[in-house]
Amino acid sequence: MNHYFKKIRVISPEQKLDKVVNLWVKDGVIKHCNEKDAEIDTNTTVIPSEKLVAAPGFFDMHVHLREPGQEDKEDIQSGCEAAANGGFTGLCCMPNTEPAIDHPTVVEFIKQKAKDNIVDVSISAGITVKREGKYLSPMLELNDYGVSFFTDDGNAVQNSNIMKRAFEYAGSKDLLLAQHCEDLLLTEGFSMNEGMISTKLGLKGYPSVAEEIILYRDITLAEYCGNRRYHAQHISTAGAVNIIRKAKEQGIRVTCEVAPHHFSLSDTLIESYDTNFKMNPPLRTEKDIEALMEGLSDGTIDCIATDHAPHTLYEKEVEFEKAPNGIIGLETALAVSMTYLVHTGVITINQLIEKLSVNPRKILNLPEIIIKEGEKTNLTIFAPNEDWIIDSDLFKSKSRNTPYNGMKLKGKPKFVINNNQIYNSNL
């Protein structure tokens, strides 16, 4: 897998590196990274790369791989292929499997299934047993087995006392707790964002305060329990951005992520009744989108994560109210982010790389990726200015529940290199 990327732009924000070089990857190691030409061997493929960017491999910290238990939607192999196809060299899988990830045996199962893949798989586990919000999971033991962080993702911990105990328990090893912020009493039976559109369509709404109430509670508890580490998953409202901004200003150890669909799509699209626009949190208003973009620009929002949520065709092809929430995102995230954030001037390409690569790894205490001669290669290579039309038939995911099919976007993944393997995107 020896490749010579001629005149490629290399961007590594942590290294303050942004220059055009000739990059030679040989046997999984960076052999040459210099403006000068290298004397390459005959076993090396030369790739003209004037229009390409190489960055530390992208990492998605919010992915539903569905295995074990829901392999008809996705499995570890297909999810990793989708990640590589979309430009990711690492991901963290969520615990809402069947059985849930709340025991070392499930963790070990996933680790074995993901072994030797080009995509590194980190694992999150439930804060509570079976993600039911009643009893704390054995977090310390699970951490010993390599669990990155803890969340009942999809089932927000409703009981404040349970959440307080979780922060206290996690504090002994400074573990990271994360939350899908949703007050379930306010959202029961929802189909979309609560507002003018939901009223017009006669659909049950999810009020923005349902997200903000749990977020504010958790941040308050995290501070009360000794300023514990806390991560807010897929925030979607202007109020959530403001809460996190103020918490950071006060020195509270909070981080957060946003999904590409929440800064690129609004609740007006629900008027089509296309179930590929149904998700949790739901699509919000243009005002919320503006606030998310401001949060991305000023650093309030730390990273971009897809919340890749595969569902079968038969599940989604039902009445809007009955359809499950969620869309796939691994193979569209880069293009959506480039199109709506970088090419519109909201953030720079360097900032995007921070949010797709650097910051997720920092939050999860994963090793920093260094791009220099002698280092192992972990790279995402993409064409930032290439226009293309999304064709879900080319996806490697088992599922096709995307709202972006047929959409023209700008910015396309090309290669990922990791673990002495290379993947050529076929999108």
CA distance 179 to 155: 9
CA distance 157 to 219: 13
CA distance 254 to 267: 28
> Is the bond preceding 138 in cis, omega lying within 30 degrees of 0?
no
CA distance 43 to 46: 10
> If you search the block for the tokens 């995107």, which residue do you land on?
425
Burial label for 248, CB within 10 Å (0-12, 13-18, 19+), is middle
- Give the tokens for residue 202: 């006669």
CA distance 392 to 316: 15
| Cα dihedral 355/357/362/363 (nearest 10) | 60
CA distance 262 to 305: 11
Concerning whether 307 is annotated as a catalytic residue, the answer is yes
Q: Which of 172, 156, 121, 340 is nearest to 232 (CA)?
A: 156
Name the active-site residue from 120, 183, 267, 307.
Answer: 307
- Give the tokens for residue 340: 């709506």
> Which residues have a catalytic role annotated?
307
